[in-house]
Structure 1
Amino acid sequence: MSVIAVYSTKGGVGKTTLSVDLAWRSAVLGGHKTLLWDLDVQGGAGYLLGEDEQPRLRAAGVFHREGRPDQLICETAYPNLSLLSADDSLRSLQLHLARIGQKRRLANLTNMLRGRYSRIILDCPPLLGEVSDQIIAAADVLIVPLPVSPLSFRALDTLRRELKREHGRHPPLLPVLSMYDGRRKAHRDLREGEMAPYPAIPWSSAIEQTAFRRAPIGTFAPHAEPAQALDRLWRVIEAKVQGARAA
């Protein structure tokens, strides 16, 4: 089993769209039994998959001493893809995890699911603190979506320093440029310079349509440029997963 976390300290960078797409590719195209675990209180992952909102506030209860994630997992409309939805109870998760003092609670919970799933995708909240510490301890690969901006380098450097200071050894990072617009000279200059090593997901109306259609782009525009870029990204991630296993 491999745990792939999609994490950013900033919101609005396409994190949830990326999480949903990668989970769909893992399950439908890769044939892996995949769990998409939404840890972001906004609950966007379930929405993008067309799932109805859950009226009960139970997502944070998974992290209690007697909590079991399998009790809240539901199947989606897509083969091999399951979902553990977020809800408003996650607003207190940071405080709860700090209070119980179990630094590897999320890692232990993902291990409980080892026999059931070969891939777990974590859609992470944009936080630094106890929740991010738990995510880093659980993840085998950390995907970091970045807007195409010089400020992204500062945010990425801050994250790397935080990881080195607080965690020593940490999962491999894969920065991903999100919302890249090749028509803009500033984007092209960054893409051809310091950001050249990173995969890029181009902005397009097809990406925006995922929220309106509530479905991954591969289901309605598989040959669009962003869908092809996401497919290449998934292949890179699979290679990193295999490399992390071999390490």
Structure 2
Amino acid sequence: MAVVAVYSVKGGVGKTTMSANLAWCSASISKRRTLLWDLDASGGAGFLLGIDARKKKPADSVFSLSRDPCKLIRKTAIDRLDLLPADETIRALDSQLASIGKKKRLAKLTAALAKDYDRIIFDCSPVINELSAQVMRAADLIIVPVPPSPLSARAFDQVVAEVEAHTKVHPPILPVLSMLDMRRTLHRAARETNPRWPAIPQSSAVEQCAVRQMPVGAFAPNAPAATAFKKVWTAIERKLAEKKKK
């Protein structure tokens, strides 16, 4: 089992869309038993998969020392893909984690799920707090969506600093250019500066994910964006394989 965190300290970078689409690639292309764990209070990952988080117990209860996380997991319409949904109770996790005094609570929860899943993907909240620190300790790989802008580049540097601050041997970090529009000068410059980074194009197909409440590969498998997400997932699997060999 491997844990992949999709994280940025900046909102609006395409993090949730990327999380849902990568989870679909894991389940549908790699045929892996996959859990998408929504750690963002907005509950966007569940929305993109057509699941209403309000019909289950509060999301923060999974971090209770007595709660079985399996009881909150929801099946999706996609084979081999389940969701552990979020709601606004996630906002209170910092104080809850402090009260139980467990610095690796998230890592232990994911380890307990290893018997049921091959891949766990975190859709992380765009904050720096105790939960984000626990994400760093639990993750085998961290994906950082980076739209072509100075603020996003600064956010990427902050993520790197955050990872290094909370892990002795930090997990690999894979930046991904998101919302890339090669008609724009700034975007072309970003691509030229980082030619080896995977990239997701700005496209109507990606925007339709929220309208259709499904990953782009499920309704437009031949779209350039679907191909781009597949390439990102291939890069992820390659990174995980390289990490395993070390």
TM-score by length of 2: 0.96
Task: List runs of 5+ in structure 2 lacking aligned partners.
Answer: none
Q: Could you tell me which residue of structure 1 aligns to residue 117 of structure 2?
A: 117
- Answer yes or no: is the 8 Å Cα contact 1:148–1:180 preserved in 2: yes
Query: Quick check: 1:155 aligned with 2:179?
Result: no
Structure 2 CA distance, aligned partners of 1:122 and 1:207? 19
Q: Could you tell me which residue of structure 2 aligns to residue 39 of structure 1?
A: 39
Q: Could you tell me which residue of structure 2 aligns to residue 63 of structure 1?
A: 63
Q: Could you tell me which residue of structure 2 aligns to residue 107 of structure 1?
A: 107
Structure 2 CA distance, aligned partners of 1:135 and 1:161? 14
1:200-215 aligned within 5 A: 200-215=199-214
Q: Secondary structure at the match of 2:54?
A: coil
Cα 1:53–1:105 shift into 2, 3 Å: closer
User: Alpha-carbon deviation of 1:85?
Assistant: 0.5
Q: State the AA in 1 paired with 2:143.
A: I
User: Alpha-carbon deviation of 1:166?
Assistant: 3.4
Q: State the AA in 2 paired with 1:24.
A: W
Q: State the AA in 2 paired with 1:7.
A: Y
Q: Could you tell me which residue of structure 1 aligns to residue 219 of structure 2?
A: 220
User: Alpha-carbon deviation of 1:7?
Assistant: 0.5
1:79-158 aligned within 5 A: 79-158=79-158
User: Alpha-carbon deviation of 1:57?
Assistant: 4.6
Structure 1 CA distance, aligned partners of 2:22 and 2:56? 27
Structure 1 CA distance, aligned partners of 2:98 and 2:127? 14
TM-score by length of 1: 0.96
1:164-175 aligned within 5 A: 164-175=164-175
Q: State the AA in 2 paired with 1:146.
A: V
Segments ≥4 residues shifted beyond 6 Å? none
Structure 2 CA distance, aligned partners of 1:219 and 1:56? 26
User: Alpha-carbon deviation of 1:64?
Assistant: 1.1
Task: List runs of 5+ in structure 1 lacking aligned partners.
Answer: none
- Answer yes or no: is the 8 Å Cα contact 1:48–1:216 preserved in 2: yes
User: Alpha-carbon deviation of 1:154?
Assistant: 2.0
Cα 1:166–1:52 shift into 2, 3 Å: closer
- Answer yes or no: is the 8 Å Cα contact 1:3–1:138 preserved in 2: yes
Q: Secondary structure at the match of 1:227?
A: helix
User: Alpha-carbon deviation of 1:29?
Assistant: 1.4
User: Alpha-carbon deviation of 1:122?
Assistant: 0.6
